[in-house]
Structure 1
Amino acid sequence: MTFPLPQRPELPIALLAASFNNTSATYKYYWLLSILSELEGGKTVIPKHRIFAGMVSLAWYTVNYFHISFGKQDQLQRAISQIRELEGITIDEKQEVVKQKIINSLNPATAKMLRYFDSEVPHRYLSPWFPELKGNRAEIYRLSAGFENDCPYALDEQNLTINPLWHGYLLEHAGILKAFCYWHLSLYLQKHNPNVPDIPNKLIKPARRNNLLNQRKFWNRVLDHTGPLECIYTHKKLVHGSFAVEHFIPYAFVSHDLIWNLIPADPSFNSRKNDKLPRMEDYFDEYYLLQKTAIEVMTVNHPNEPMMEDYLSLFPNADAQQLPETDLRGKFLENIQPLLTIANNNGFEYMGRFL
């Protein structure tokens, strides 16, 4: 599948489309995304330092919250982890706040990390316009200053200047160009994270998370029929309306709110668990029994409950009304165990036993 860009006869759009060919790191994707963000903010002469800070801020949530791997050689991921410690920035900080803190930082270690990208990215992105130069930094800088070969920007040691010939196109089609970047970025990251679900939805921090009202109603209905159930973590009794809806496998990994991964839990525990992983030997059996109870109760008492359809992603050949007759434990086990292992391999930590 290709992602066509809008054409303009006077511009070498094919070279822009080729800018992500033979990409071995994420730099170029975030470089163009950061430039487009500055351009939308009204800037045509942009300090490179701002663009590098924008690259870090754009990738911040993907690296820190979702633990997506950029590949062993990718220095952007490494820089983000180090800058988070150096600057004391939280993993879920707003993108613009992250960017401004980095721009205003006086820490020489942070500045040094950003300078690395200066030696690698601005001129290499222009390789399609200067293929014969094979990444010769000095020569590409010299030729870009006169917008040779209709390259999209000029470079000097401090700034990037947008080519007036490209300005209108980049601004008019900024949304499409961002989608172009994210499309190629998602393909690149999927190769490096082949077992991680829902990569495209882990590239941008969502404006807000779902409120889980329907999932809460689901578990309230279960509790109406069963009476109090026990929190699998703290063993406190949970009753109708007095529980937290908790992701057994963290949302930061699965990136969905399907009911098979949601259970009622002690609210005080839910705030402590954060994005830690539950250990199979400690919690799987209790988690499974909660889910088994819910399936049996809802099948008998609320056979038309829409949320029962969520289970069909675990039981693709079953009907929602036939779930109790399937090998429930085996299916839950063969889905949950690999997800926990993959999440741990991607940097999510296991939690201790709560008594």
Structure 2
Amino acid sequence: MEVNPAWQEYLTKNSAILKDFCFWNLSLFLQKHNPNVPDIPNKLIKPIRRGSLENHKKGYWNLYFDEVKEQRCIYSGNLLTKRDYSLDHFVPYNFVSHDLNWNLVPAHRSVNSSKSDKLPRLTQFFDVFFEIQRKSFEIVFRKAPRSKYIEQYLSIFPSIDGLLIEKTGKARLKETLEPLITIAHNNGFEIYEPKR
């Protein structure tokens, strides 16, 4: 195939725009034909490096630990404090492609590494995950109500109060997580089996 020389400069100069246009239309096509797979555009073109969760720790989870002082890791039962916890994506990052706070939970560093891209069993871990989410939200909302991390909950809760109302908040979060975990498992993500 030969490109007309009159178009060569234009195509070279605008190649990034043309490439983005092609990827955007491809992602729309894939999303239309795979409605149960979240965030297809970010799965097509992942960032070269994954972002750090350090800002989540400083802007949200450290405020939580300032008040509760310590808590047990939901996976291992190990004691966690502000100095020695890492953040785990409850539903793996490689499936959801985001770092939204409603999908993060403090975990022991060794467990976070061993869990990796594995899925938690909701029957085993959801209740305690929800309690940590509810309690952390309550604490941070009281201490920093304008935090951008509070706003992240609006992507699944219709109002800021949604998570604070235990019965409806719990049901809403479970309705969000359950299909994600089922679909991820159907797409080859393994179930996490903690070592006791």
After TM superposition, the score normalised by the length of structure 1 is: 0.51
Matched, 1:196 2:41: no
CA distance in 1, matches of 2:165, 2:3: 66
Matched, 1:215 2:56: yes
Aligned position for 1:240 = 82
Cα 1:321–1:304, aligned 2, differ >3 Å: closer, same or farther? farther
Post-superposition offset of 1:323 = 4.0
Cα 1:169–1:255, aligned 2, differ >3 Å: closer, same or farther? same
Q: Is the 8 A contact 2:102 2:152 kept in 1?
A: yes
Aligned position for 2:165 = 325
Aligned position for 1:260 = 102
Structure 1: segments with no counterpart, 5+ residues:
1-152, 154-161
Identity %: 46
CA distance in 2, matches of 1:205, 1:299: 31
Candidates 200, 204, 228, aligned match of 2:70: 228
Matched, 1:183 2:24: yes
Q: Deviations over 1:267-317 (max 9, x none)?
A: 01111111111111121112111112112222333333331111111212x
CA distance in 1, matches of 2:162, 2:131: 17
CA distance in 2, matches of 1:225, 1:179: 46
Q: Is the 8 A contact 1:299 1:321 kept in 2?
A: no
CA distance in 1, matches of 2:162, 2:140: 12
Cα 1:281–1:354, aligned 2, differ >3 Å: closer, same or farther? farther
CA distance in 2, matches of 1:167, 1:301: 58
Counterpart code for 1:213: E
Q: Is the 8 A contact 1:303 1:321 kept in 2?
A: no
Whichever of the two has the greater Rg, that structure is 1
Q: Is the 8 A contact 1:263 1:290 kept in 2?
A: yes
Counterpart code for 1:176: I
CA distance in 1, matches of 2:40, 2:162: 32
Counterpart code for 2:46: K
Indicate the SS of the match to 2:193: coil
Counterpart code for 1:304: R
CA distance in 2, matches of 1:301, 1:278: 30
Task: Using the TM superposition, name which of 191-200 and 219-228 deviates more.
Answer: 191-200
Aligned residue runs from structure 1 range 272-291, under 5 A: 272-291=114-133
Matched, 1:348 2:189: yes
Aligned residue runs from structure 1 range 48-59, under 5 A: none
Aligned position for 2:139 = 297
Counterpart code for 2:182: T
Post-superposition offset of 1:249 = 0.5
Post-superposition offset of 1:251 = 0.9
Task: Using the TM superposition, name which of 243-252 and 166-175 deviates more.
Answer: 166-175
Cα 1:322–1:188, aligned 2, differ >3 Å: closer, same or farther? closer
Counterpart code for 2:40: I
| Relative contact order, higher structure (CA 8 A, sep 6+) | 2
Structure 2: segments with no counterpart, 5+ residues:
none
Post-superposition offset of 1:339 = 1.1
CA RMSD between the two structures:
1.9
Aligned residue runs from structure 1 range 20-99, under 5 A: none
